[in-house]
Amino acid sequence: MSYLLKTRRSEPTLQKPMSSEEQQQKINEVRELLGDLPSEMPRFLSDSTIRRFLRARNWSPVQAAKTLKEAVKWRRQYKPDKIRWEDIAEKENEVKRAYIPEYLDNNGRAVFVLIPSIKSLTSEKNCLKQLVYNLETLAMSSEGALEENVVCVVDFRGWTLSNTPLVETRESLHVIQRYYPGLIAVAILCNPPRIFESFWKIVNYFIEPRMKEKVKFVYTNNSESQKTMADMIDLDKLESAFGGRNTSGVDIVKYAERMLRRDKIRGASTHANDNTSSS
């Protein structure tokens, strides 16, 4: 556990604040570097998306444009914007493993809950599809945000090495860091067991420095950790697994209704694809 505690104390890299005018100038520079791509994917290559990629690349227009071009190439092939709630396999079980609760954190940011100790009932390919589906939904809710807008909370109670294959973890990190950068504000790893230390040392090789700065390890039996969670999320809304008082769990029927509404908003629903409804 000592290795994890040491990691938790690392200080984030401070960046000089940029004015809105300076940010817009950087965005315009990226647009010039992208050429005709914004006309191909105007909804994806919005100012908000470009700003998010710039944040993740330390406001370098060249690096942001390079990563955006990679993302455009991937989106052409994978078509993440077309994934719908109906496409998620084994919905009831898989949503228990990864879901977006209705509540926001105390700063108005979206929350993404992961419980990897629950065994998946589907393939690694479908697990990745569900992750991308969630990331698309989170990106939509973060449209217009001036800072990273997602708090990722992971419950490691009961976790074993077999719960999270290394290949799947590496691919998931690649997708998050290369195709959805600048989205996650903080990643809270809650109650990791001792065996997680060895896994974390390996996974560290695949995590970008900026992402490492966002990782916090918390333990529900630790007063300092409890304060960290209470400062971040209302304990009446936070799940009991993370030290909160919410024991209700996920209502799959209500969750499905919410996801279908979000699909419609982002233009991924069946009706939207048939041009019978607008976003």
How many Cα atoms within 13 Å fall on the side-chain side of residue 31?
17
Distance, in Å, from the CA atom of 89 to the CA atom of 224, rounded to the nearest integer, reads 39
β-pairing, 184-190 vs 98-99, is unpaired
pLDDT tens-digit profile of 247-272? 988 999 999 999 999 999 988 766 54
Give the pair of three-digit tokens for residue 222: 């630790």
Distance, in Å, from the CA atom of 134 to the CA atom of 191, rounded to the nearest integer, reads 23
How many Cα atoms within 13 Å fall on the side-chain side of residue 135?
23
Nearest to 84 by CA among 258, 263, 276, 255: 263
Note the pLDDT of residue 17.
75
Structural element, H or E, at residue 69 = helix 61-78
Q: Residue 146 — φ and ψ, nearest 5°?
A: -85, -15
Q: Residue 121 — φ and ψ, nearest 5°?
A: -105, 10
Residues with Cβ within 8 Å of residue 42, at least 6 apart in sequence: none
Among 2.60.40, 3.30.110, 1.10.8, 3.90.550, name the CATH number for the domain at 20-78: 1.10.8
Report helix angle 166-179 to 196-203, nearest 10. Answer: 40
pLDDT tens-digit profile of 144-158? 888 899 999 999 998
3-state secondary structure of 238: coil
pTM for the model stands at 0.89
Note the pLDDT of residue 270.
62
Where are the domains positioned within the chain? Answer: 20-78, 91-249
The class (CATH top level) of 91-249 is alpha beta
Longest CA–CA span in the chain (Å) reads 56
Note the pLDDT of residue 161.
82
pLDDT in tens, the chain (279 residues): 444 444 444 444 445 678 889 999 999 999 999 999 999 999 999 999 999 999 999 999 999 999 999 999 999 999 999 999 999 999 999 999 999 999 999 999 999 999 999 999 999 999 999 999 999 999 998 888 888 999 999 999 989 888 888 899 999 999 999 999 999 999 999 999 988 988 999 999 999 999 999 999 999 888 888 888 999 999 999 999 888 999 988 999 999 999 999 999 988 766 544 433 333
Note the pLDDT of residue 95.
96
Distance, in Å, from the CA atom of 43 to the CA atom of 210, rounded to the nearest integer, reads 26
Report helix angle 61-78 to 20-34, nearest 10. Answer: 60
Distance, in Å, from the CA atom of 230 to the CA atom of 194, rounded to the nearest integer, reads 25
